[in-house]
Each structure stands twice: as structure tokens, then as C-alpha cells.
Homo-oligomer: A and B are copies of this chain.
């Protein structure tokens, strides 16, 4: 509980009342490796934060899956698109290591937004943070080669090498597994 409050109050301080209100609706769960938190086609009705563990979001096309993102401790686990629009998610969220997650439901969050406007500030800042990260990722597709993207990714998240498989990383970079293997081979 404390952990999540601490995490999100790094975006902006939360009043004692707000903290209490959040704590009272917060759900905390342990989920095992392999667990599917959100299934493709379902509506994402919860916003979780990954307290401990590792996860990824992926898209399925022609029978193979393509990683959209990886989540480390402190990252949000949700399909933004589905959560915001309440339309079916195209993303599947898969837990890749035994994890602890904490979060709130769509209704509860909106209740919080209504009763404690200060949460809108936090929501805005968090959205801005993820927007900027996504912008950087889009840029990398537009001007970097496969090899450049790989090296930059590993520099930013060296833990990925231990945690994610070659195939997961390759699809995240938008390249084939074989190509990534060859990139690794040279130097």
C-alpha cells in the first residue's frame, strides 16, 4: 500500500484525505508467472501498477505475437487505449515473472478523480510521462536501424537481457528473431 502511494506521490503530493480515499479502494494482488492480466478482445477495466516482477504487453497477428512494451517495477500495467475508451483491447498483458500488482478499477478511479481533483494532476503528469516515452520510441523507428535500436534499448534497460527472451525483444524492436541473433553475434 505504502509503496504505491509513495510511487505516485513522486508525480505530485497527495493530501491525507486523498491518500486515505485511494488506500481504501486499492487492490493488491500476487500473480504468478504466465498469468494473463488482460486478454485481447476484453475491455481493460483496471489500472494496475507493477510493484514487483516483470510483464509485457503484446499484440497477436497471424498467429504470432509482437511485443508492444515491457513493464518494470513502478510501470503501469494496462491498455491505455482500452481503459480510456472502454473499447476492447487489442493488447494482451502477460506476467513474465511472479509479480505483485496494485491498482484500482475504472469506476473507482473516476470516483477518485471526481471527489479528489488533485488526482487529475497526477493523472495528467503520468500520461505526459508515458507520452514522452512513446514519442521517443516512435522516433527510433523513424530514424534508427535495427542494430541501433537494439543497442539503445539494452543500454537503457540492461535487465531486459536477463528477463525477456530474444524473440520478445526482437518483436518489440520490429525485427525478426534471426536478425536480432545476428546483431548480437557481431561485436
- Which A positions have Cβ atoms within 8 angstroms of B? 59, 61, 66, 68, 80-81, 84-85, 113, 117-118, 120-121, 123-124, 127-128, 130-132, 134-135, 137-139, 141-143, 171, 174
Contact = CB atoms under 8 A, between A and B. Distances in A.
B85 A132 contact: yes
Given A123-B120, A124-B123, A143 B174 contact: yes
A85 B121 CA distance: 15
B117 A127 contact: no
Contacts of A80: 128, 131-132, 135
Q: Which 8 A-B pairs have the closest CB atoms?
A: A120-B120, A141-B141, A124-B124, A117-B117, A127-B127, A142-B174, A123-B124, A120-B121
The count of identical subunits is: 2
Contact of A142 (B66, B128, B132, B135): B66
Nearest to A138: B138
A80 B138 CA distance: 14
A67 to B, nearest CB: 9
Given A84-B132, A85-B132, A141-B141, 12 more contacts: A59-B139, A59-B143, A66-B142, A66-B143, A80-B128, A80-B131, A117-B117, A124-B124, A127-B128, A131-B134, A134-B135, A138-B141
A75 to B, nearest CB: 15
Nearest to A141: B141
A10 to B, nearest CB: 15
19 contacts: A66-B143, A68-B142, A80-B132, A80-B135, A81-B132, A84-B128, A120-B120, A120-B121, A120-B123, A120-B124, A123-B124, A124-B124, A127-B127, A127-B131, A131-B131, A131-B134, A134-B138, A141-B174, A143-B174
